[in-house]
Amino acid sequence: MAVLNQVMERCREFCNKLFDTGEHVEYHNENKRAGLKALYRKELADHFTSKRFIIVLLLIAVTGLASVYSAGMGIQDAVNQEGNEFVFLRLFTSSGSSLPSFVSFISFLGPLVGLALGFDSINGERSRGTLTRLVSQPIYRDSVINGKFLAGVTVIALMVFSLGLVIGGMGIIMIGIPPTLEELVRIILFLVFTVVYMSLWLSVSLLFSLLFRHAATSALSVIALWLFFAIFIGLLAGLVANGLFPVNDDSPVNAILNNRRWQQNISRISPTTLYNEAVATMLNPGVRTLGPVLIEQIQGAIPGSLSMGQSILLVWPHLTGLLALTMICFAISYICFMRQEIRA
């Protein structure tokens, strides 16, 4: 009986070794991480040594620093007129005598960083003949697109937070007032929103690089889409709202409110509108609502600013929308890349 038990135990151990896939799964995951890590490092090196990225970075850095300097020169007058509350945040939202605010520059020029990083990610590799060499390596195919996207997001995050630190140090030197804890948290959230906003355009440009075989075509297409959402969506929203609810001097209040709501809701299709509303709320605690407000609602209201938690609740749908759009665009890019046929 003891011999029989030993034989059964040996058979059980043999079957476990034969059908156990734990070691295989661990080996699979280790190889996948190694391939993704190698591609991630390669893409980071390509981005940091790219002249195109350096030019776009210098453009945004110079214009942003110039706007902050222009705002800082006149911020003392604003302090004397409006009080000393949230002075440091005004460096990002105040405009100078001849330049818009830093937030306005980032809202308009920020997508250029994502577009420059991704418009030729795949079709550029295909035209140079390096894509077939890349997928022929002993790495998993999805590591290629995952590495490109993660490297682009990392470069964007490093650029945005570095620029934020430089502007913060510059602001402390200019106005001589350090940020409070709440101001610091609001600035960090503003930088996070900016990273998500630029990453959205990175995923869009990555998708266009898969849909079009030539880099010039994908670049022109994604620039046209960016200009439409940045400029022309507001004009289209106004035309649609005026067509549905015409407004004149004798229009009732309900018609004016409906016109304004339709115009605002259509404009929110644009990621630029979502970003502008979100950062305006985070950097200006005095913003209490993002919709139209009647005079009757203002009367009797206690003046003050929103707390950090209330501001986050107000812009949480905007952050969720930007993240959802980024994930959807990248998911479509992932599916297209995995289904495309790559030939030598």
Q: What is the pLDDT of residue 175?
A: 76
* Total residue length of the chain: 344
> In a 3-state reduction of DSSP, which class is residue 291?
coil
Confidence of residue 4 (pLDDT cuts 50, 70, 90): very low
The answer to whether 274 and 321 have CB atoms below 8 angstroms apart is yes
Give the span between the Cα atoms of 3 and 117, in whole angstroms. Answer: 68
The answer to whether 319 and 193 have CB atoms below 8 angstroms apart is yes
Phi-psi region of 155 (alpha: psi -120 to 50; beta: other; left: phi over 0): alpha
Q: Which of 210, 215, 150, 219 is nearest to 342 (CA)?
A: 210
Is 97 a residue whose pLDDT tops 80? Answer: no
In this prediction, residues 304-315 reach a mean pLDDT of 81
For residue 228, give both structure tokens: 């439409």
Give the span between the Cα atoms of 121 and 144, in whole angstroms. Answer: 10
Segment 218-250, tens digit of pLDDT: 888 899 999 999 888 888 888 888 888 787 767
In this prediction, residues 11-16 reach a mean pLDDT of 53
The answer to whether 90 and 71 have CB atoms below 8 angstroms apart is yes
Give the span between the Cα atoms of 24 and 21, in whole angstroms. Answer: 5
Is 146 a residue whose pLDDT tops 80? Answer: yes
Q: What is the pLDDT of residue 198?
A: 92
Q: Which residue has the higher pLDDT, 49 or 86?
A: 49
Q: What is the pTM (predicted TM-score) of this model?
A: 0.82
Is 305 a residue whose pLDDT tops 90? Answer: no
Confidence of residue 100 (pLDDT cuts 50, 70, 90): confident
Is 61 a residue whose pLDDT tops 90? Answer: no
The domain ranges of the chain are 38-287+306-339
Q: What is the pLDDT of residue 76?
A: 58
Give the span between the Cα atoms of 101 and 92, in whole angstroms. Answer: 6
φ, ψ of residue 72 in degrees (nearest 5): -65, -30
Percentage of the chain beyond pLDDT 70 is 80
Confidence of residue 128 (pLDDT cuts 50, 70, 90): confident
Is 31 a residue whose pLDDT tops 70? Answer: no
Amino acid at 232: F
For residue 289, give both structure tokens: 């609502």
Amino acid at 198: M
- What are the residues whose beta carbons fall under 8 Å from the beta carbon of 268, sequence distance 6 or more? 274, 277, 321
Q: What is the pLDDT of residue 25?
A: 44
Give kind and range of the element (H or E) at residue 28.
helix 22-48
